[in-house]
Structure 1
Amino acid sequence: MKKPIRVLTKLLLITVFIISCNSKTEQKKSIAEAISVLPNATIKETIAYYYKLKEEYPTKYNFEKENELNTLGYQYLSNGKVSEAIEIFKLLVSEFPKSSNPYDSLGEAYKTAGNNELAIKNYEKSLALNSKNINAEDIINKLKYSKYDATRFGKKYKIKEYKDDLDELGRRLSEVNPNVYKFISKKDFWSAIESKKELITESTTFSDFLWYCSEIIANINCSHTSMGYFNQERKLIPIELRFPLEVKMINNKLYVSNSLINKEKVNLKDEIVAINGKSIEVIKLEIFKHISSQGNIETYKKNFLNAHSTSIIPYALGFPKSYNILLKGASNSIKLSPLKKYQNNFQKLPNYLCQETLCFNYSKDKKTAFITIRSFAYYGKRFKKFKAFIDNSFDSMAKMNIQNLVIDIRGNGGGPSDAGIYLLKYLSQTPFTYFSSSQFSESLNEIQPFSNNFKGTTYITMDGNGGSTTGHFMSLVKHLKLATLIGEELGSNQFCTGGQKRLRLPNTGIIYSVARNTYITTATSFPIDRGIMPDHEITQSIDDYVNDIDTVMGYTLSLLQKKDK
């Protein structure tokens, strides 16, 4: 009986094999590939051919999967054939009218073509079909509200509209940001919102409400969740209400860095101890409550205040019509003249050899190279520029047999992780893993350093403006002990919530961004509420600032001199 069973088993296996082979031969062909083979066909002819094949061979080609046409549309778009892409996406929409993604793709094509009206229309259809389409909601807000109404400074909304917007703000912050309660308890977060509601009266203006909202957002201590770089507030404030001096906070003291219209009343470097009867400490604490930064990092807040002093001080003081300042050592206050015009230069960054975003220099003796990287923000195709700069810099260093490297990342607000990883591959001597937690799985793998990596001594100058990817990069630099760090506490660290979603409050129209993805490097031993700390903490004095002396770089050069002796 065993032999017939074995024969039957073989017959069954052969039958299964034949069925399997037949199923493979009957697999439907790609419709996208089929309509792409017509030589010199117009897009109109290509689409006509699509309908012809669908009518004559409805089961031969894959008409059921929307990604077929979607991929083809993006191929046209990436090749600069925007009008052709639009037609393919229009076909996609007509074939899959109840799906969200086709409208999202068509919206992107119209946006690329500069037709914002149709882009918004299709993104709104996509969002209606899928309320969780964050991309569509984000772009709708960017396109619809790109023009900011700067005339609403004193406008008053209804009390209910203000309160409803505060509830909406709290709801969206807590829904979108996965770490909203990382640095503040849920109870304290919602209590803060209720306390702001109690402040609202019929006299509350739009500018007052902006200030309330900025504090609510800053409460969660996330640098990627904010109302922007004070753009909305700055655009609103009338020129005559601005604080008529540029000031710089150094070691919790406030100094005049530009007298502006008050040159005859106030001197450069004068220390201000009070404004309109309020001490600088009280004003500082009020301002810091409204600046979004990572954890309890104050260096970023300080630099933010310095950059926006003429506009942020009025908000903190309730928009006084005049300003009286008390200087250190003086018994009487000085009444300042109001501004008649003003152009904000956002305070100059200290620089040693370069004011550009990317620079490569070297010393006369060719022992030391200087690389300036003011930004890691080289996304997409622009990454080639960053890669070429880094490659060329390290190639030049190898040819010159450079012994010391100084990397200046002051003012670097971050960018894609690719940039930080690429630079680390030239600095690290051993394999490393960049992220311990990230939405990008490839960043969780072990990364091999370049064979021609730099083997000399590295110094990095840093400041409180270093954010996002700069924090990730520097956390690994410190963790792997790749360089000596000089300057002030970095404005970021190994932990951040990034990937911003742009939102708008329904009644007041306030625009804000909320981070939605968690990124943590493998340098998890550092505290998440403080920035990466320097090995040598150096602060620029007001004298050095006014005289354009780069204190941090000067100290770095002194370390180099000691090393080479």
Structure 2
Amino acid sequence: MKKYASFLFCYVIIISSFLFPVPEAYGQENFEGTWEGVFMNDFEVLISFDGNNQGNIKMMSGGNIIQNDKLTDIKLTNNEFTFYIPDKQTPFTGNFNDLFTELTGEFIFPDGKKHTIQLKRKMQAANPLAAFKTAKENKFRAEDVRNDLLFLYSSLKEQHPQLYAFTPKDSMELILERLQDELREEVTLEKSYLILSQLTDAVKCSHTGVRLPNSYQDSVNEFGHYFPFRLYFKNGKAFLVSGNFESKQLILPGTEILSINNLAVKEIIEKLFFMIPSEGCNVTTKYHELNKRFNALFYFLDDSEKFIIKYRKGSSVDSITASSCRLKHIQSLYGKIKNDRQVSFHYMDNMNIAVLKIPTFAMPDMDHYFKQLDSIFNDLKKANIQHLILDLRGNKGGHPIFAAQLFSYLTKKDFIYFKRNAEVKDFEPLYNVMQPNKNNFRGTMYVLVNGGCLSTTGHLISLLKFNTNAVFIGEEPGSTFRCNDFSMQFSLPNTGIELNAPRVTFETSVTGFTLCRPFPIDYRVNNSLIKIIDQEDEYVEMASSIINK
């Protein structure tokens, strides 16, 4: 197992973290804020922890952002402070001084080397709410935003390996020209973000997108006015799931929502889709993210303190007025945040069906993951299990070596993971023939997929389709045999909005796949609104039903 360690990403290689959720943190009140320092004598580092139990690390070199990653497993135990950078497979361990003004610790790279850093707490504004209001109302000259559009497009032309794969160059430049022409007056940071996202959306790449500066987004998370209901979107329509009601006037779950503050649902979907990066012709990713993060996305369209919601009531239309709420109140509508990096395995009641859920391929501990897989598949072999449900829903990817190791247990024949890419020599083993594991599964496999399956997970899905007889259940995955990554991040010179631009295309060693051709699903899940409201797992139910037939 140790031989795979040399193939891990080094710390400066960027994997897009636009959509990765962050688990719960502990003791946040002691270290909340921003910490700054210098790493390896060359790189400026900003590490921030906010009041929503989230963290982020940003590293800069010569004004360019070379790392911008979410943090997980944030823990303060006595005086020892730890966190983890999943995109780099890098843990941090350190200690605060008595006044919690300095943090000294070390990063432990995947190769085992330790690198120390000393950070100091960055002074915060005396009145953060007032500072946020000032930043929110600040406007940029139209010329400055136009120049940021040009900088964004120039950066993509320089970095992106497949910039015109889905939108031809002349069409892309027409979009750029239109956006520039529409900039006739000063605009806010949030409006600039909406404009810029229209250009990145045209690339149709799940690793290409823009986001607000972390410090501003943190303020939005804390002080923003959010729509107070959870909605479910499907086929261009929206339905109520749950909400923070203030009065006795209630809307029943399942009710169709027609408009919010006179903005029709169809228009809401169209505008929010621009902010959700996805691959090619795929829309399942956009719906998947919209159903997970609607309130956070809708903020950028409407941050009113009051919302007039029109809904269908029988054959007529009625309305209700609701007050906005903070993001922390929204989170309760979506249930408790689960550990999104924990492999789970169990048998169903009849003991002839096993369920294996792999939530990510950004694993914190490679050896533990490899040992866990070996134990699981050894157990499956000893028990002679004939049916395996492999749950890949919502797995946004990670390092390909974790997917390759899993695949070795799922195939009966030799395979090659990637088509050779001369730009990435560290993946040499993945360009050569690999063998199935001695404990490989030999029964029937049922793979659960949805729009949240991205990047490395898409690669694995294509290998499963090409090399095995797996049965696919669900909806079209977010990506399959090809995607772009090894991303660089740029801070746009005037607005400070951040661009994520991939530099390398990775393609699996398969044939028969065509860009924009829908992935063949054997059994489509309806995603019933009633099942969603009742929190029932329609995917597993369908897999069990198919097996029992």
Normalising by the residue count of structure 2, what TM-score does the alignment of the two structures yield?
0.72
User: Where do 1:273-292 residues align within 5 Å?
Assistant: 273-292=258-277
Q: Note if 1:270 corresponds to 2:197.
A: no
Distance 1:171 1:377 in 2: 31
Contact 2:447 2:473 in 1 (8 A): yes
Contact 1:428 1:482 in 2 (8 A): no
| Equivalent position to 2:38, from 95, 98, 118 | 118
Contact 1:141 1:503 in 2 (8 A): no
Distance 1:186 1:392 in 2: 51
Matched with 1:479 is 466
Matched with 2:487 is 500
- Identical-pair percentage: 26
Q: Relative contact order (alpha carbons < 8 A, sep ≥ 6): 1 or 2 greater? A: 2
| Partner secondary structure for residue 436 of structure 1 | coil
Matched AA of 1:206: L
User: Where do 1:342-491 residues align within 5 Å?
Assistant: 342-343=327-328, 344-345=330-331, 348=334, 357-378=342-363, 382-438=365-421, 439=424, 440-491=427-478
Distance 1:363 1:140 in 2: 42
Contact 1:474 1:532 in 2 (8 A): no
The alpha-carbon distance between structure 1 residues 409 and 223, as it changes in their structure 2 partners (threshold 3 A), is same
| Partner secondary structure for residue 356 of structure 2 | strand
The structural deviation recorded for 1:449 is 0.9
| Equivalent position to 2:159, from 155, 176, 193 | 176
**For this pair of structures, how many residues does the alignment match?**
437
Contact 1:222 1:496 in 2 (8 A): yes
Matched with 1:198 is 181
Matched AA of 1:556: A
Contact 1:183 1:220 in 2 (8 A): yes
The alpha-carbon distance between structure 1 residues 349 and 508, as it changes in their structure 2 partners (threshold 3 A), is same
Matched with 1:252 is 236
The alpha-carbon distance between structure 1 residues 456 and 140, as it changes in their structure 2 partners (threshold 3 A), is closer
Distance 2:213 2:546 in 1: 38
Contact 2:65 2:491 in 1 (8 A): no
**Which segment drifts farther, 411-420 or 277-286?**
277-286
Distance 1:492 1:346 in 2: 30
| Partner secondary structure for residue 236 of structure 1 | helix
| Equivalent position to 1:221, from 181, 187, 204 | 204
Matched with 2:66 is 139
Q: Which has the larger Rg?
A: 1
| Partner secondary structure for residue 368 of structure 2 | helix
Distance 2:67 2:380 in 1: 47
Matched AA of 2:39: A
The alpha-carbon distance between structure 1 residues 262 and 330, as it changes in their structure 2 partners (threshold 3 A), is farther
Distance 1:549 1:409 in 2: 17
The alpha-carbon distance between structure 1 residues 483 and 332, as it changes in their structure 2 partners (threshold 3 A), is closer
Matched AA of 1:482: N
Deviations 1:245-295 (A, max 9, x none): 211113332111122235633222111123333432232222223321011
The structural deviation recorded for 1:213 is 1.2
Deviations 1:394-417 (A, max 9, x none): 011112121111111111111111
Q: Which runs of 4+ in 1 moved over 6 A?
A: 133-136, 140-144, 146-149, 229-232, 353-356
The alpha-carbon distance between structure 1 residues 256 and 376, as it changes in their structure 2 partners (threshold 3 A), is same
| Partner secondary structure for residue 323 of structure 2 | coil
Deviations 1:78-101 (A, max 9, x none): xxxxxxxxxxxxxxxxxxxxxxxx
Deviations 1:31-89 (A, max 9, x none): xxxxxxxxxxxxxxxxxxxxxxxxxxxxxxxxxxxxxxxxxxxxxxxxxxxxxxxxxxx
The alpha-carbon distance between structure 1 residues 178 and 227, as it changes in their structure 2 partners (threshold 3 A), is same
**Which segment drifts farther, 473-482 or 224-233?**
224-233
The structural deviation recorded for 1:493 is 1.0
Contact 1:460 1:486 in 2 (8 A): yes
User: Where do 1:302-321 residues align within 5 Å?
Assistant: 302-316=287-301, 319=303
| Equivalent position to 1:236, from 220, 227, 232 | 220
**Which segment drifts farther, 531-540 or 386-395?**
531-540
The structural deviation recorded for 1:507 is 1.2
Matched with 1:327 is 311
Contact 1:502 1:514 in 2 (8 A): yes
| Equivalent position to 1:534, from 521, 526, 539 | 521
| Partner secondary structure for residue 433 of structure 1 | coil
Distance 2:260 2:486 in 1: 39
The alpha-carbon distance between structure 1 residues 464 and 156, as it changes in their structure 2 partners (threshold 3 A), is same
Deviations 1:5-39 (A, max 9, x none): xxxxxxxxxxxxxxxxxxxxxxxxxxxxxxxxxxx
Distance 1:475 1:286 in 2: 31
The alpha-carbon distance between structure 1 residues 445 and 251, as it changes in their structure 2 partners (threshold 3 A), is same
Deviations 1:467-513 (A, max 9, x none): 11100000111112331111111011111001121211111111221
| Partner secondary structure for residue 357 of structure 2 | strand
**Which segment drifts farther, 237-246 or 457-466?**
237-246
The alpha-carbon distance between structure 1 residues 187 and 347, as it changes in their structure 2 partners (threshold 3 A), is farther
Contact 2:308 2:322 in 1 (8 A): no
| Partner secondary structure for residue 144 of structure 2 | helix
Distance 1:272 1:437 in 2: 49
Deviations 1:164-200 (A, max 9, x none): 1111111111111111111111122222222222222
The alpha-carbon distance between structure 1 residues 226 and 430, as it changes in their structure 2 partners (threshold 3 A), is same
Deviations 1:412-463 (A, max 9, x none): 1111111111111111111111112432333211111123211111111111
Contact 1:369 1:406 in 2 (8 A): yes
The structural deviation recorded for 1:159 is 2.4
Contact 2:346 2:356 in 1 (8 A): yes
Distance 1:525 1:510 in 2: 39
| Equivalent position to 1:336, from 321, 324, 330 | 321
The alpha-carbon distance between structure 1 residues 497 and 269, as it changes in their structure 2 partners (threshold 3 A), is same
The structural deviation recorded for 1:552 is 0.9
Aligned-CA RMSD value: 3.4
Contact 2:227 2:298 in 1 (8 A): yes
User: Where do 1:97-108 residues align within 5 Å?
Assistant: none
Distance 1:116 1:342 in 2: 26
Matched with 2:149 is 166
Matched with 1:561 is 548
User: Where do 1:64-79 residues align within 5 Å?
Assistant: none
Contact 1:249 1:306 in 2 (8 A): yes
Q: Note if 1:549 corresponds to 2:536.
A: yes
The alpha-carbon distance between structure 1 residues 240 and 387, as it changes in their structure 2 partners (threshold 3 A), is closer
The structural deviation recorded for 1:383 is 1.6
The alpha-carbon distance between structure 1 residues 500 and 266, as it changes in their structure 2 partners (threshold 3 A), is same
| Partner secondary structure for residue 446 of structure 1 | coil
Distance 1:135 1:508 in 2: 18
Distance 2:475 2:292 in 1: 17
More strand by share: 2
Distance 2:412 2:267 in 1: 48
**Which segment drifts farther, 421-430 or 275-284?**
275-284
Deviations 1:284-324 (A, max 9, x none): 222223321011111110011112222323434x5556432
The alpha-carbon distance between structure 1 residues 186 and 298, as it changes in their structure 2 partners (threshold 3 A), is same
Distance 1:346 1:191 in 2: 43
More helix by share: 1
